Copies of this chain bind each other. A is one copy, B any other.
Amino acid sequence: MSLPNILLGLIKEPKSGYDIKQTFEQVLHYFWNSDLAQIYPALKKLEQDGLATIQMAEPDKGPAKKLYKRTPKGTRQLRAWLQQGPQLNTERLHYLTQVFFLDEIPPAERIKFFTSLHQYFKQQLSELIEVEKNWRSQDSRYPDKLPDKDQATQFTLRLGLAKIKAIIDWCESCLQTLRNKHQQAN
């Protein structure tokens, strides 16, 4: 039930399906992603339900675009979603289920597994740190005096940073535990 509401959130200003996909990849991809094959039909349905209107645009370069914009009814629907409180679905952490069965492979492989996890999240962290650095240098209001929309975005960034840091610490502590045991065995 989230995708239609996310789309409504994004089309406060007119946007095409392609534009929306860009936004997913550049901004939201740490906690959400959707493919074009899912976005196009979902936008069509919003229009059919009277939650969005279409406006054609013929840019100087490139093919024609369908720009979707939310209607007042769409805005009401978006607010209702937010006002009904946080949607707390059980997350599916594939890699954690793997950790749960990690005793099924030899100790050296377990270390490899955690090293790989560690690398991945280190990379994610450095990306987020970069995002924050740029934002800070480009907007003097960062972090305490941002306008509401930016503040909401910043909240998501703050959680991303905190969670990834926690995961990295966890990787390191697990690696330490695994290495201690591995050496004792030799």
Contact = CB atoms under 8 A, between A and B. Distances in A.
Contacts of A156: 96, 99-100
B85 A151 contact: no
Interface in A94-110: 94-105, 109
Interface size of A as a range: 35 or more
A88 interface: yes
Contacts of A90: 29-33
B152 A86 contact: no
Interface of A: 2, 5-6, 9, 28-33, 75, 78-79, 81-83, 85-105, 109, 112-113, 116-117, 120, 144, 148-149, 151-153, 155-156, 158-159, 162-163, 165-167, 169-170, 173-174, 177, 181
